[in-house]
Chains A and B, each alone.
Chain A
Amino acid sequence: MLTSADFDTLLLTFKVASISTALMMVLGTPLAWWLARTSSAWKGIINAVVALPLVLPPTVLGFYLLVMMGPAGVIGEFTNWLGIGTLPFTFAGLVVASVLYSIPFVVQPLQAAFATIGELPLEAAATLRASPLDTFFSVVMPLAKPGFLTAIILGFTHTVGEFGVVLMVGGNIPDKTRVVSVQIYNHVEAMDYSDAHWLAGVLLVFSFTVLLTLYTVLKTQPTAHQLK
């Protein structure tokens, strides 16, 4: 059965994932909108930077973050100057690392959804008196709904499943940075296979259910390419 320590890690994991996902949506939406529509020379570079966590080993990303967020790092000096101390091995540090690690899973589906919508519905909205911001909420968001759903779910589940970055940046501190994936590792290290099974099973069922729901919902959504 799940122990109370297991429950704590589950709770912490969902907390990290929820907060990270919210942050990623807030940061990722304007970034994806800009990337989908700009013809700036920076587009290629920003695209590459955003996609980097997809190909980089999580430990590499985690290592750099650890160094940068440490007392001698750029981010560390800044956070020290702000008076909030350094981020490694804290909950906040874990959230920052998760956001950077998972943001391509949010930006890429959004960017694709925005690009599919194209210029026409925006022009139609403009001729119907809608300001650009109004158009974003009343036309772009409904039309990009599948993209938003995909972004939220991939961002969330990917954060739930991360391990390497967490271990490098967050460590293994109960109730602060010990998330489910680390706890499973702990169980296995302790040859505690039955507990590992329970936790792993919970994650498996959770991930499958979420994805199944996503694809069922997506099937019934009108998409931008049906625009006539």
Chain B
Amino acid sequence: MTNPIIVRFRLDYGAFQLAVDLSLPGSGITVLFGHSGSGKTTLLRCIAGLQRAQQGYLEINGNVWQDSERGVFLPTHKRPLGYVFQEANLFPHLTVAGNLQFGLKRIAKQSNTADLQHIVELLGIAHLLKRLPDCLSGGERQRVAIARALALNPQILLMDEPLASLDAKRKHEILPFLSRLHSELAIPVLYVTHSQQEVAQLADTLVIMEDGRVQASGPLAEMQSRLDVPLAQDRDAATVWQATVSEHETDYYLTRVVFADGALSLPLVDAAVGTPLRVQIYARDVSIALEAPTATSILNVLPATVTGLADDHGGRTVVRLQVGNQALLAHITRKSALLLGLHADMAVYVQIKGTSILN
């Protein structure tokens, strides 16, 4: 059971048409990514049963929630899911505690309150329990909404742009909590967003949607570096590497992190040795040299292999590289690509000018 989530939907909605056929992993965060109108929220609502696709088959962990051919359609309230809306959508007549208890009162009493305690602590809302939703900030409301969905011990967590209605400051208030969910949750999460930043920070699996269809789907690193997907062409194109803190060079305000096939120097990170990190490398921060540069100010120079090239017809070439097992993208000028004579399977050196830490 490597793909316990099977999603097949067809929905005609006026001019809009949703046609999706997906198999998704049963753990980690799967991000549904696309522009507004691409159908990502509709897809999520169909999975929740809030919207009914005329034709559809939906299976989660071996349980069939919808099968239009056999006339099966489980109503939303019978689906063991958690749903976080774009606006927190808390019940205004209930306190935070009342909101958290709402679902718990309606499921069999097997899930213990210790779970709720843990969730409340995880999301840092213990001090808010007695308040009414009107007395909370937007970020606090959204944290309560996430806790309310998790309190039910759902088999899957569905999140519809949970950060979209928040300002940048509130977003940064919640993102760490979401990253923590990532490491604490055993259940799969489907997360809808149009923000590349959230993709880079949260996604394990990425589903790219366009005009009601799935354009591409797969593991994040693979999706980010695929040249046939517009993500790689984007100005903010980047790849995310998983790395671990190995040592701090406090004299230089630097931190060494290691990944499967090498090491990187980063600006000092406030994290203990051994902490796992997501390191984001923008394609525009990567340059290419044919020989190992001997005198350069750039600390991070790694041997790499060119695995693909794509021209954007605007003077820029997107180069896909492989550093060991890690994919990496570089945006260079078309002229440089021609002068260096880059081609697939060519051994080169990449210089990484800047990095950012995502968690």
Contacts and interface: CB of A to CB of B under 8 A. Distances in A.
Given A130-B77, A130-B102, A130-B106, A120 B85 contact: yes
B60 interface: no
Contacts of B345: none
B150 to A, nearest CB: 12
Nearest to B149: A127
Interface in A124-167: 124-132, 134, 138-139, 142-143
A115 to B, nearest CB: 17
B11 interface: no
A130 B81 CA distance: 12
Contacts of B282: none
Interface in A104-138: 120-121, 123-132, 134, 138
Contacts of B152: 128-129
A223 B254 CA distance: 54
A126 B77 CA distance: 5
A124 B85 contact: yes
A44 interface: no
A219 interface: no
B94 to A, nearest CB: 8
Contacts of B132: 222
Interface string A196-228: 000000000000000000000000001010111
A126 B133 contact: no
B91 A124 contact: yes
Nearest to B100: A128
Contacts of B124: none
B202 interface: no
A124 to B, nearest CB: 5
A222 B134 contact: yes
A142 B89 CA distance: 15
A123 B50 contact: yes
Contacts of B141: 228
A126 B76 contact: yes
B102 A128 contact: yes
A128 B87 CA distance: 16
Contacts of B219: none
A121 B102 CA distance: 12
Contacts of A130: 77, 102-103, 106
A127 B92 contact: no
Chain A interface main SS type: helix
A222 B107 contact: no
Contacts of A128: 77, 102-103, 106, 148, 152
B163 interface: no
A121 B89 CA distance: 7
A123 B102 contact: no
Contact of A129 (B48, B49, B106): B106
Interface string B89-111: 11111000000001100110000
A57 B106 CA distance: 50
Nearest to A129: B106
B134 A129 contact: no
A134 B48 CA distance: 19
B75 interface: yes
B315 to A, nearest CB: 48
A127 B81 contact: yes
A139 B6 CA distance: 33
A224 B91 CA distance: 9
Contacts of B49: 126
Interface string A34-74: 00000000000000000000000000000000000000000
Contacts of B90: 124, 228
A132 B76 CA distance: 10
Interface of A: 120-121, 123-132, 134, 138-139, 142-143, 222, 224, 226-228
12 contacts: A121-B89, A121-B91, A124-B83, A125-B102, A126-B75, A127-B50, A128-B106, A129-B103, A130-B103, A139-B91, A222-B93, A227-B89
Closest 3 CB pairs of A and B: A128-B103, A127-B83, A126-B76
